[in-house]
Amino acid sequence: MKKLLIDLGLNLKSFILVQKPYMERRTYATFKKQWPEAECIVTSPKISFEEYAKDEDFKRRYINVMVGDLLRIREYPKRGFQIEQEIPKEVWDAGQRLVELGFNKYVLS
């Protein structure tokens, strides 16, 4: 996207990025890796977990995706895909507990 905008003569300095509620941190980290000099705000619809994940099948999928994203927030900077971000210990510990409970569908191998 950056190259395309530059090729079009658009030297943008700030962005509003809209994403799913649970993907805001990964969106930010990926954007800043690709475009560190630009300012950005990441936002999403203000939807509670209960509203977003109404049925049990979707809720389980939603939790699996969130756990996978948490692991990627930690792992992807090592692979050069995102900037590093601090993960509070209690958040990391909760994510690991969810993996132990079987929410491991999107865990990196």
Does 109 map to a domain? no
pLDDT-based confidence at residue 65 (cuts at 50, 70, 90):
very high
Does 107 map to a domain? no
In three-state secondary structure terms, 41 is: strand
Phi, psi of 42 (to 5 degrees): -110, 130
- Pairwise pLDDT comparison (57 vs 84), residue with the higher score: 84
Does 106 map to a domain? no
User: What tens digit of pLDDT does each residue of 80-102 get?
Assistant: 999 999 999 999 999 999 999 99
SS3 content of the chain, % helix, strand, coil (to 5): 55, 10, 35
H/E element, 50: helix 49-52
> What are the b/e assignments for 55-72, b being 16+ CB within 10 Å?
eeeeeeebbbbbbbbbbb
Does 94 map to a domain? yes
User: What tens digit of pLDDT does each residue of 6-42 get?
Assistant: 899 998 999 999 998 889 999 999 999 999 999 999 9
pLDDT-based confidence at residue 58 (cuts at 50, 70, 90):
confident
Instruction: Please say whether the beta carbons of 92 and 70 come within 8 A.
Output: yes
Based on the structure, what is the number of domains in the chain? 1
Query: What is the domain range of residue 32?
Result: 2-100
Does 41 map to a domain? yes
pLDDT-based confidence at residue 1 (cuts at 50, 70, 90):
confident
Does 89 map to a domain? yes
Does 108 map to a domain? no
Max mean pLDDT range (17-21, 52-56, 57-61, 86-90): 86-90
Does 95 map to a domain? yes
Instruction: Please say whether the beta carbons of 29 and 76 come within 8 A.
Output: yes
